[in-house]
Amino acid sequence: MKKKNKYSKWITAVGLVCVCGLVSCRAEYEVTKVEGTRVAMDAVWDATPDGEALALLKPYKAGVDSVMGEVKGVAAVSMDRFRPESPLSNLIADVLRQAASGVLGCPADVGLVNMGGIRNVLTEGNITTQNIYEILPFENSLCVLTLGGADLKKLCANIAARGGEGVSGLNLVIDADGRLLEATVNGQPIDEGRTYTVGTIDFLAEGNDGMTALTCAQERRCPEGATLRGLFMDYVERETAAGRKIEARIEGRVVVKK
**CATH assignment at residue 225:** 3.90.780.10
The answer to whether position 44 is within a domain reads no
Give the amino acid at 145.
L
Residue range(s) defining the domain that contains residue 115: 66-257
pLDDT tops 60 at residue 6 = no
Running DSSP on this structure, what letter comes out for residue 169?
S
Cα distance between residue 169 and residue 228, in whole Å: 18
Residues 6+ apart with CB under 8 A from 83: 115, 162, 163, 164, 165, 254
Instruction: Say if 140 falls within a structural domain.
Output: yes
In this predicted structure, what is the pLDDT of residue 258?
A: 85
* Tens of pLDDT, residues 149-206: 999 999 999 999 999 999 999 999 999 999 999 999 999 999 999 999 999 999 999 9
Q: How confident is the model at residue 62 (pLDDT cuts 50, 70, 90)?
A: confident
In a domain? residue 176: yes
Residue 6 inside a domain? The answer is no
Residue 112 lies inside a defined structural domain of this protein: yes
pLDDT one-digit tens code per residue, 208-254: 999 999 999 999 999 999 999 999 999 999 999 999 999 999 999 99
What is the C-alpha separation between 96 and 198, in angstroms, rounded? 9
DSSP string, 189-207: E--TTSEEEEEEEHHHHTT
pLDDT computed for residue 20 by the predictor: 52
State yes or no: pLDDT of 24 exceeds 50: yes
Spell 112-150 as b/e; 16+ CB within 10 A means b: bbbbebbeebbeeeebbbebbeebbeeebbbbbbbbbbe
Q: What is the domain count for the chain?
A: 1
Angle at 112 between CA 111 and CA 116, to 5 degrees: 150
pLDDT digits (tens, 9 = 90+) for 83-133: 999 999 999 999 999 999 999 999 999 999 999 999 999 999 999 999 999
| Residue 44 confidence (pLDDT) | 87
What mean pLDDT, rounded, does the chain reach? 91
50 is a domain residue: no
In a domain, 4, yes or no: no
Residue 81 covered by a domain? yes
Per-residue pLDDT, 104: 97
Q: Which residues pair with 111 in a beta bridge?
A: 168, 199
pLDDT band at 41, cuts 50/70/90? Answer: confident
Strand partners, 82: none
Compute the CA torsion angle 217, 221, 227, 230 (nearest 10 deg): -120
The pLDDT of residue 46 is: 84
Q: Residue 45: which pLDDT band, with cuts at 50, 70 and 90?
A: confident
Residue 13: is its pLDDT beyond 90? no
Given a contact cutoff of 8 angstroms between Cβ atoms, the answer to whether 240 and 76 are in contact is no
